[in-house]
Copies of this chain bind each other. A is one copy, B any other.
Amino acid sequence: MSFNTFGKIFRFTTWGESHGLAIGCIVDGCPPNVNIKEQDIQIELDKRKPGQSKFTTQRKEDDKVQILSGVFEGKTTGTPISLIIYNKDMKSRDYETIKNKFRPGHADFTYFKKYGIRDYRGGGRQSARETASRVAAGAIAKKVLENKIGKKFKVIGAVTQLGILGCDVKKWNDKTIRKNPFFCPDKSIVNLWKKYLLSIRKSGSSCGAIIEIRARGIPVGLGAPIYSKLDMDLASAMMSINAVKGVNIGSGMNSAQLTGEQNSDEISRRGKKLKFHSNNAGGILGGISTGQEIVVSFAVKPTSSILKSRKTIDKFGKNTSISVKGRHDPCVGIRAVPVGEAMLNCVLLDHYLLNKAQCGN
């Protein structure tokens, strides 16, 4: 049972609303004696921070994280790590006009029907602001994995499709990703994306995106059969991110179109080195990591808060329409990249620890 907790052994529990005093999380099950400082977490949070380019929301949040417990003299102690981020730039008045209306595509309707009450300010708990807590937890997972696995370990994500414009995944370049406001891995399409997204924003609309996250240096054996499969937990992790509607592992939905011989990644050995000839499996077979690169991708639907008028009802059941004027991302998918990275880090660490428990490896 885990309404607000994610994970099995390495677990984090998030709390907080968009326009409350603060948001934060508790990271539990973190191994002891790992160096963690606030700056390690801040670096990751800064990737997700709003207001960094004209392609994201203009809400100004410096998202400064504070460690309240669990770290002593710079090292984790094995006790829960409590992290807090104070909210700053809340303009709750923006939401007064829509507080009784259910924004289509948002959770306003379902939250209200389920709970009979909701904090409408900035979406309350349903706001993507919650994902900052995940990024903070993921930063800790990353440090632990680097400590346990070593330098070869790396998780990196990118936007591979922006609305109707896909990039060429074969041109994936890690360095490119950090050098453009879209986390785009393919240099050749960045300018086109700029023009496209500006036109989307100007028209008061929004667009969706596909994000791909890759993990390298992963040992064979993470994950467990049946209901603790690595890919099952990854699907769960990614689908838990706001606005995500689809998740692929490796060839994903496309694998339906492959034949058996196309799909089954052949294996051979040269010297001491094992080689898979392809990676349709996305680095996971039978729910367990193969040692190949782990590849997970997911679709983020277009931002539901748009200027264009949409039909809806209010909480009294009356027909009305809505046009959302707040500060919104024209493509929320972009800022989902560090969130996806964080979730992948957390799932990997969780299974790393679980593998120790189950097999002593």
| Residue ranges of A at the interface with B (Cβ–Cβ < 8 Å) | 1-6, 8-9, 11, 13-17, 20-24, 26, 28-29, 31-33, 68-70, 72, 75, 77-82, 84, 102-107, 109-111, 113-119, 124-126, 130, 161, 163-164, 200, 205-210, 220-221, 223-229, 231-236, 238-240, 242, 245-269, 274, 277, 280-282, 284-290, 299-306, 308, 310-313, 317-319, 333, 353-361
Contacts and interface: CB of A to CB of B under 8 A. Distances in A.
Contacts of A269: 313, 317-319
A353 B8 CA distance: 14
A82 B16 contact: yes
Nearest to A304: B264
Contacts of A33: 115-117
Copy tally for this chain in the complex stands at 4
B288 A163 contact: no
A293 B77 CA distance: 27
Nearest to A110: B288
A29 B106 CA distance: 22
Contact of A240 (B4, B229, B256): B229
A54 B308 CA distance: 53
B163 A306 contact: no
A347 to B, nearest CB: 12
A13 B6 CA distance: 13
Nearest to A133: B226
A25 to B, nearest CB: 9
A263 B5 contact: no
A80 B124 CA distance: 12
A52 to B, nearest CB: 21
A110 B290 contact: yes
A106 B114 CA distance: 39
**Most chain B beta carbons < 10 A, residue from A11, A210, A223, A227:** A227
Contacts of A306: 260-261, 264
Contacts of A208: 255-258, 263
A68 B119 CA distance: 13
A104 B267 contact: yes
A23 B26 CA distance: 11
B299 A255 contact: yes
A311 B274 CA distance: 12
Contacts of A81: 15
13 contacts: A1-B1, A15-B80, A21-B68, A105-B264, A161-B256, A205-B261, A207-B260, A208-B255, A232-B239, A236-B236, A248-B253, A269-B318, A353-B358
